[in-house]
Amino acid sequence: MFVKKITKNEIEIETPAKINLFLEVLNKREDGFHNINSLFQAISLFDNLKFKIQSSPELALKIINNDDLPLNDDNLIVKAFNFMRDKFDLKQGLAVTLDKNIPIAAGLAGGSSDAAATILACNLLFELELTSEGMAGCGLHIGSDLPFFFSSGQALVTGQGEIIEDTTYPVNYELVIVKPSISISTAESYAALKRDLTKQKNPFKLGRCRTVDRYIMSLNGAGNDFEEVHFLSYPEIGKIKDGLLLAGAELARMSGSGPCVFGIFKDLSGNKEGLNIGNENWQKFFVKPIQIVEYC
């Protein structure tokens, strides 16, 4: 996350989306959550949030660029603030303006990223002096993807999402992300996994990859477990993947629980305008992998 502007009472944070370079659902836990094995990568697609302290101990949320997001407790920003207010007995609230650019229900963790930014804003504005690990621990109470946003921006993520191991794989490549005109909830995706999740399988291990060529070749040995169910229910997702590969992507894969699909390209210069994939109403993003700046 990137703190762009900070005063005593106001802060502006630019917070990124993420993709799953691979994603395995290993087994279902006794608490109802699932153990995963995944490589997360932050990308240069951002939401922008402005936070201002207000005297009322509530959160007032305004959203720009998206009319579909709730403003009540179903919004992860509201959930994150309410958790922080109750846990740290905050006497003041926040007025928040969200400029929403990351598509929702897309497999890019935009809601989790916004909630993580809210935890960071509370930490800085209310001088809670939490470490990155402390903020990540708070985030896990809101959602499994939140702890990642307190990492370096590239990490092997296991357990429920709380075990974060920073990695240093190559990032000298570019990405095309395509979102079809559908949205898929995470709960729907897990419910669609019909195979036996009571026994844990052996997780994929990426190993050492010093070059981007070796990295991409190794990533091709993994996958995304949600593809097997979503390609049947939503054939357009498979068409996007095929289209990205035909356009020259070194690897194409659905991110998270979908429906966004990313393609990895070693060089997109001069090719963006000619990249014609699928329906003209589908959203396309040209992004790069990034690091996340640590603030605590």
With residue 41 as reference, give the H or E element that holds it. Answer: strand 34-54
Euclidean distance between CA atoms 261 and 19, whole angstroms: 9
119-122-127-133 Cα dihedral, nearest 10 degrees = 0
Going by C-beta distance under 8 Å and a sequence separation of 6 or more, which residues neighbour residue 257?
107, 184, 185, 186, 188, 189, 190, 226, 230
Which tokens in the block code for residue 194? Answer: 């019909």
| Exposure class string for 130-156: b at 16+ Cβ within 10 A, else e | bebeebbbbbeebbbbbbbbbbbbbbb
Rg (CA), the chain: 19
For the packed helices 76-88 and 132-140, what is the interaxial angle rounded to 10 degrees? 120
- Which residues are identified as catalytic? 18, 145
Which tokens in the block code for residue 242? Answer: 């095929």
